[in-house]
Every structure is written in C-alpha cells, then in structure tokens.
C-alpha cells in the first residue's frame, strides 16, 4: 500500500520528523515505520506542503487542521494497536492519520462531517492504493454502528463529554482516546472496556478543534442536548 518513503523529495524532512517524534517519547517501532512510510505532503494542500514535515498542526481548509504528528503517533502508541485490529477514526480530516492507521491495523472505518474533506481524503487514499479503509460522511459522535464493535477508537476533536454511542461501540478489551473539556482546552482521556466495566484514565492536556455533532458541540458553541 502507498508509495515508498524513498520515492519523493521530502525524504530528509520526513526522517527529521521521525527523529523529533522519538525525542518526544515515541518508542513503538511499528508506529515510527508507518509514519516514515506515509508521505504527509500527499495529504495537505499544496500551499502548505512545505510545512508537511513540521511537528505541528497544519491547516487543511474549512477551519480544520491536520494534527501534530507526534500527538497522532502518541495516540497510536497508547492504543497498542495490533495488525488484527478493527479501528474507528472520528475525524478523517486530511486522511493522513487514516493512511498511517491503514499500515498498522486490519481495517479502518473513518467518519468525516465535512464532505469536501472526506472526498479529498478518499481520492488521495485511492491514488496511493490504500484499500483497507472505508470513509463515511456523517456525525462522528454517533459512531458507525454497522461495523462495531471496534478494537480501538480514535477521536481527533475535543468534545464536552465522551459520547455514549462511542463507548457502546467498543469491543471487550477495546480502547478509545478522546479529548474532553472546553472548546479551548481538553484532557486526553483513555477509555477501556474491560470485563469489570468501563475504565477511564487522564493522559495529558491538549487542544483540538471542537467535536461537533449530536453528542458534542453545536455550531454556536453550546453543548447539544
């Protein structure tokens, strides 16, 4: 799947990014290899392609950003992903994280509420021949129950609370990472479904774009009821 990391002019920049990610605590070799393999510049607008390998958020249009790579990698490291996993991604965005996940797990189901971003991401994934991904245009806060339960759920936007439908779609032994808090600042929460019930763990402070939808914020900035 995808193109070789040696086939483009950004090799040195990508390798420098991998080094930065290691300095920031990313130790999972499978995660690092996946980030090295997937070309981030393929997924960002041409106007910001020169910033593709900064360890920083990059604007992708429609008020959205492609998240900081080291934070995306931390998500994947904390979730302890396995090749056999089925993963739900809430917030396709540029499709870059989707592509990295596709190299790590068996199947990725991704939801994006902005149709134009979903179309662009799907076209890029198809061009790179990444075929173990399905993208849905819709409300990520209600999940994608058709293919549940999921071994892992990644939520790439911050909500006021953890949506109950996403908890319900976790498999036994499943893990979810989601930012929870105000629109300006959140805590990254690790949620696990165990035989004893649902467990919650606070990981770190973070700032993501707002999670909009039925079980998130509405467009005006208030909590949906």
Cα angle for residues 95, 174, 68 (degrees, 5° grid): 35
91 contacts: CB under 8 Å, gap ≥ 6: 110, 111, 112, 140, 155, 156, 157, 211
Q: In the structure encoding, which two tokens stand for residue 158, read together?
A: 């911050």
Q: What's the distance, CA 92 to chain centroid?
A: 7
Task: Establish whether 67 is a catalytic residue.
Answer: yes
CA distance 193 to 165: 13
Whether 185 contacts 201, CB under 8 Å = no
- Among 39, 67, 110, 148, which one carries the catalytic annotation? 67
Alpha helices in the chain (DSSP H): 11-23, 29-37, 69-79, 96-104, 115-127, 164-168
DSSP string, 63-98: TEEEPPHHHHHHHHHHHT--TT-EEEEE--TTSHHH
- Report the candidate in 173, 170, 128 with the shortest Cα–Cα distance to residue 147: 170
Question: Would you name the residues annotated as active-site residues?
Answer: 67
């Amino acid at each position: 799947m995808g193109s070789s990391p040696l086939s483009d002019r950004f090799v040195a920049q990508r390798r420098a990014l991998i080094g930065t990610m290691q300095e920031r605590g990313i130790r999972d070799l499978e995660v690092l290899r996946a980030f090295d393999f997937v070309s981030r510049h393929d997924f960002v607008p041409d106007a910001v392609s020169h910033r593709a390998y900064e360890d920083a958020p990059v604007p992708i249009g429609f008020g959205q950003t492609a998240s900081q790579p080291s934070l995306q990698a931390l998500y994947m490291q904390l979730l302890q992903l396995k090749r056999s996993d089925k993963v739900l991604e809430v917030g396709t965005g540029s499709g870059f994280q989707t592509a990295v996940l596709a190299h790590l797990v068996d199947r990725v189901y991704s939801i994006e509420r902005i149709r134009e971003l979903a179309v662009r991401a799907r076209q890029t994934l198809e061009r790179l021949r990444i075929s173990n991904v399905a993208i849905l245009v819709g409300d990520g806060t209600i999940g994608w129950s058709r293919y549940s339960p999921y071994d892992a759920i990644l939520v790439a936007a911050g909500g006021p609370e953890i949506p109950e439908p996403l908890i319900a779609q976790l498999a036994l032994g499943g893990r979810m990472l989601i930012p929870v808090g105000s629109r300006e600042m959140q805590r990254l929460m690790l949620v696990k479904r165990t035989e004893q019930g649902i467990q919650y763990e606070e990981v770190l402070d973070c700032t993501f774009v707002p999670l909009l939808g039925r079980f998130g914020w509405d467009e005006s900035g208030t909590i949906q009821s």
